[in-house]
Chains A and B, each alone.
Chain A
Amino acid sequence: MTRRLLLGLALLIAAGSASADWAINMPQGVSEMSLQTYRLHMQVFWWCVAIGIVVFAVMIYTMVKHRRSRGHQAAQFHHNTKLEVVWTAIPVLILLIMAVPAAETLVELEYNQNPDLTVVVTGYQWRWHYDYPDHDISFFSSLDARSNQARRKRSGIDPYQVENYLLEVDNPLVVPRGAKVRVLITSKDVIHAWWVPALAIKKDAIPGFMNAVWFRAEESGTYRGQCAELCGMDHAYMPVVVEVVEPEAFAAWVEAQRGGEAAQAASDQAAAATRIAARHDIAGD
C-alpha cells in the first residue's frame, strides 16, 4: 500500500514537472458544459479521496495496532446496530449531495434545442462524414496521409516525428466560436462514437438512429478526439478534429467551401463521365 502511494506520489511529481505527456486529469475543456463536467468529476473525485482517507486510515490503524505480534487480545463483539445505521445513512447523504448537481448538469446537457448551427456527423468504417445542411457543405474527414503512412507496421517512420500522430485529419470540422452547435450523429455501417474531450462530447453513432448533442465552444482553437466505440480493424485510425474559428472566419470558410465544392462537383462529373466511357469501351470489346 505504502509503495503504491509512493509510486503515485512520484508519478504526480513527475506529472507536475514534465510536459503534457504525463497528463493525469480530465481536461477542463473549452465549453460551459465541459467545465461543468470537469467540476462534477473533481467533486466526486474529492469525495472519494476524503472517504478513502478516512476508511484507509482506520484500516491501517487497526492493522498496525491490533496485531497479535503486539500482544493485542481479540475482542469478541460482532455487531453494533447504531454504528451500522450510521454508516448506512452517511453514504446515502453523500450520494444525495453528489446526485443533485449531476442531475442538473445532465438536464442541461440534454437540452439541444434552438441551435445556431447544425452539423450532421456520419460514421463510416473508418472515417467521418460531416454535413452542414444549412450551408450545403459536406465532406469526408479521414486520417491524414502522414499518420496513415507512419501507422503501418514496419513503416520505418518514428511516430514521434509525426505531428499529432493519429490525431490529425485531412478535413476538420469547422465551427464558429460562441455559437450553439447541434451535432446530429448517425452511422452508415457499424456503431462508432464521436468523442471530443475538450468539448465533453461523446455520443454513439448508430445505424438507423439519429443522436443529438450540442456544444458551445468559448475559445477558438483545434480540438482533437477519436472514435470511442470499437468499430473494427481501423477503429484507432478515425480521429475527430474540430476547428473552432471566429464567426467571421467561419463565414469566409463557408464561402470558400461552396466555391471549392462547385469546382469539385464539376471535376467529379468529368471523372465519372470518363469512367463510364471507359466501361463502354471494355463492354464494346
Chain B
Amino acid sequence: MTTAVADAHLAHDAEHHGPPAGWRRWVFSTNHKDIGTMYLVFSLLMFMIGGALALAIRAELFSPGLQFVEPHFFNQLTTMHALIMIFGAVMPAMVGLANWMIPLQIGAPDMALPRMNNLSFWILPFAFTLLLSTFFMDGGAAAGGWTMYPPLALQAGDSFPFTIFSIHLMGMSSIMGAINVIVTILNMRAPDMTLLKMPMFVWGWLITAYLLLAVMPVLAGAVTMLLTDQFFGTSFFLAAGGGDPVMYQHIFWFFGHPEVYIMILPAFGIVSEVIPTFARKPLFGHESMVYAMSCIAFLSFVVWAHHMFTVGMPLTGQLFFMFATMLIAVPTGVKVFNWTATMWRGSMTFETPMLFAIAFLFLFTIGGFSGLMVAIVPADIQYHDSYFVVAHFHYVLVPGSVFAIFAAVYYWLPKWTGTMYNEKLGKLHFWLSTIFVNILFFPMHFLGLAGMPRRIPDYSTQFADFNAVATIGAIGFGLSQLIFIWVVIQAIRGKGERASAKVWDNPKGLEWTVPSPAPHHTFETPPKVSTEVAFQ
C-alpha cells in the first residue's frame, strides 16, 4: 500500500504548486477533484438534455391525438431519453462523486490511476457527441428502445453502428472508472482504516465497481453481436438464420439488472452518510448495511429474467426468478429499517441534504413496494410493459438515485466550493421537486393498471386525464431543476457564507478534516483515523 501511495505521489510532483491555468487544467487533469468536477458538470448537462427529451415526450402525451411529433421520432425520444439519463446523467454523476469523495474519505492523495481517470472522463464527451449526433442521421436516432431488442433494433437507419459504438465507449469509460475505484479503495486507504471502518459511500462504490466490472463487458458483447448480425451476416439473434431473439434478452438483462443496482448502491451510500450527520447519531447497523449491500449485489446476478416474464419461459424458470426477486426485498428492507433506526431518538435538523435523504427514504420505499408487486409473476403479466412499470422504475431512479445525488451535492458542495449554498433556495428546490415528482410519476401507476402500454405516442381517450396530470408534474419538475442549477452556480461563484472545514454539526469522516474548499492536493501524508472521525 505504501508503494501505491508513493507512486501516486510521484505522478503529481509536477503540479505540486496548484493546478495549471486555463484549459490545460481540465484537459490534461489527473487530479481527482478536477476530474470529479468535470464528471459532475457533464452529468448535469446530460440531465438537462435527457430532461428536455422527457419534456418533449410528456408534451406529446399531454392529450390524445398526435400534436407535436411523429411516432417514429417519439420512439427516438424515449430511446435516447433512457440512454442519456442512465449512461450520461446518473452513472457519471455517481462517478463524479466517487472521484471527489473516495480519496477524501479514505485519506488518499488521489485516485490510484490518475491518467486512466482522465481518459475515462474524456471518453464521455466524445461518446455522447456521437450518440446525440445520431439524431441528425438518415433514419434518425435509435428508436428500438434503450433495451435494443432484436430484431427491431436492427431495423435502424444509418445511426445503428454509431449508437453501438457510443455504447462501447461508455462501457470502456465505466470499466476504467470501476478499476480505478477498486484499486484506490483496496490500496490507498489510510493505515488504520480497515475495510469495515470505511464510510458507507465508499462501501457502496466498492460493490458497485465490482458490478460494473462484471456486467459492462456483457453489454458490450450483446451489442457487438447485434452489430455482427447487422453487418457481418451472423445470426446470433435472428430466428431465420437459426438464432434466438430471446437469447439477446437474457444477455442484455444479465447486464441490465445489475445495472439497476449500479445506479442505486452509491445512492444507498450517500443516504447512509447524510442521515447520521443530521440525526447526530452513528449509522445504525454499520456492518449489516455492508452485508445488505453485498447481498443485493449478489442477488442482482440471479434475477435478470424477471424482466422477461412474458417471453415464455419454463414454469420452473419463472418460479425461480420470482422467488429470487422477492428475496431482494429482505436486504432492501434491512437498509430502510436501519436508516429509520438511525433517525430514531436522534437530534434531527432538516437542512436540504437531509430533506432529500428523507424524501429518498419515503419515495424509494414506494418504488420498492411496486418492485415487490412486479416480482409476482401472474400479476406482472398484467404490469409488464405497462405504465405501472414506468412508474416503478422512475420512482427508484428519480426520487431514488437522482434525489440521492441532489442530497450528495448539497451535502458536499460547501466542501468543494468553500461556500455555503443558499439554504432557502435549496429548500425551495427540494419542496418543488418532491411535490412535482409525485404528480409526475404517481398517476403512471393508475395508467398502467388501467391498461396503458409504455412507449406509445398516442393513447385511447380513457387515459387522457392522468396523462395530463403527469405532464403538468413533468413541467413543474423540469422547471424546478433550474433552481438547482442557480444554487450550484452561486456557490461556485462564492456568493454565500464561507463554509468551515466541518461545514455541518460535527459530521464524521476524513473529508471534514481538510479545509473548505478542499485544497487541490490533500492527504499527501496518510492521515490518522482518530476515533473522532471513525465510523465504529
Interface residues of A (CB under 8 A from B): 1, 3-4, 7-8, 11, 15, 20-27, 33, 36-37, 40-41, 44-45, 48, 51-52, 55-56, 58-59, 62-63, 66-69, 72-80, 83-84, 87-88, 91-92, 95, 98-99, 102-103, 105-107, 109-110, 150-153, 155, 158-160, 164-167, 189-191, 193, 195, 197, 200-204, 206-209, 211-212, 225-237
Contacts and interface: CB of A to CB of B under 8 A. Distances in A.
Residues of B in contact with A, size category: 35 or more
B293 to A, nearest CB: 15
10 cross-chain pairs, A with B, having the tightest CB-CB distances, nearest first? A208-B239, A236-B456, A48-B369, A211-B312, A74-B347, A24-B446, A78-B282, A23-B450, A159-B64, A190-B152
B378 interface: yes
A75 B281 CA distance: 7
Interface in B292-326: 310-312, 315, 318-319, 322-323, 326
Contacts of B322: 99, 102-103, 106
A182 B80 CA distance: 38
A160 B385 contact: no
Contacts of A102: 322, 376-379
Contacts of A155: 65-66
Interface stretch (B21-29, B128-136, B409-417, B435-443): B435-443
B383 to A, nearest CB: 8
B460 interface: yes
Contacts of B341: 80, 83
Interface of B: 64-67, 70-72, 75, 143-145, 149, 151-152, 155, 239-240, 243-246, 279-288, 310-312, 315, 318-319, 322-323, 326-327, 329-330, 333-334, 336-337, 340-341, 343-350, 358-359, 361-362, 365-366, 369-370, 372-373, 376-379, 381-382, 384-386, 434-435, 438-439, 442-443, 445-446, 449-451, 453-462, 464-466, 469
Given A45-B373, A74-B345, A233-B71, A225 B285 contact: no
A120 to B, nearest CB: 15
Contacts of A24: 445-446, 449-450
Query: Most A CB atoms within 10 A — which of B144, B310, B361?
Result: B310
A59 B366 contact: no
Given A98-B326, A189-B151, A209 B246 contact: yes
Given A26-B450, A102-B379, A206-B246, 14 more contacts: A7-B438, A23-B462, A24-B445, A37-B379, A62-B346, A63-B350, A72-B346, A72-B348, A166-B460, A195-B453, A204-B311, A226-B453, A236-B456, A237-B458
Among B65, B244, B449, B450, the most chain A Cβ lie within 10 Å of the Cβ of: B65
B89 to A, nearest CB: 22
A197 B451 contact: yes
A189 B345 CA distance: 61
Nearest to A107: B315
Given A59-B343, A67-B348, A95-B330, A22 B466 contact: yes
Contacts of B434: 4
A103 B319 contact: yes
A230 B346 CA distance: 49
A20 B376 CA distance: 26
B312 A209 contact: yes
Contact of A76 (B70, B244, B282, B287): B282
Contact of B312 (A87, A190, A206): A206
Contact of A109 (B326, B343, B378, B454): B378
Given A68-B347, A202-B384, A234 B378 contact: no
Nearest to B386: A228
A191 B64 contact: no
